[in-house]
Structure 1
Amino acid sequence: MRTLALYNRNRGILMILIVAAGAVLATGIWTVSSGVKYPTQEDAVLALPGCSLPMDATSARRVAAAWAGLLGFDVLIFALTLYKSAVEIRYGGSAIMRVLLRDGSIYFGIMSIATSCTLITFLAFGVRYSTF
């Protein structure tokens, strides 16, 4: 909503956001409904305390694809905010644009680090327990 407000409710931006959100949603639905294999109770014993349950490599890649979609959506929102803030600041924009740019950058940095760590976890360690 904030990004759409920055662009004065531009219908083109709205369509870009709807298509991107739909793609992320479709990827998530595909991930959940495509047969992600969760371990049996015997396989769950292999998991370390406090860790997620292990899954096979194919399932891990599918779940990682859903997380990659979320990261892509965050990148899109940040890029749109960055562009609009840079344009406004260049032409003597207000202090609110500087605050939006600063706060958006901090939020984006934290969220992309967290999402990237999750992606790496699924991609690097999903093959560890491929005994199903």
Structure 2
Amino acid sequence: MRLTAEIARDLMTPGPYSIADVATVEQATAFLTDRGFGAAVAIDLAGHPVGVVTKTDLLVHARERDAKITTEPGTVRDVMTPAVFSVREETTARSVVEQLITLNVHHLFVVDRTGVVVGVISPMDVVRRLV
């Protein structure tokens, strides 16, 4: 098999969605499931990325709530991963794949030269470019 992409821009799905870090867990669950997303960038009130909320984060929260570890409804900020793993648009496709594996993540966000998130890459995006 051969990857038919040279750089991250070739692999990415453009225009990733974001969700406010103050949104409730219930809102985040609806947001991801209604759109069929596995993750979204969490942004603060100024619009800066502050983390990533994933379906896994939401499942862990639900399990803890069911086990009565927490009874708080919670916000995205309470359950998100407080890091945004990202690559630049011009990062090589090979490096993107290596980072997905090394970091053991399912989403790498793509940023432009100014640091604005412009895309997202998942393992499925990579698989789609294999021939």
- TM-score (norm. length: structure 2): 0.23
Larger radius of gyration: 1
Give the TM-score normalised by structure 1. 0.23
Give the structure with the higher percent strand: 2
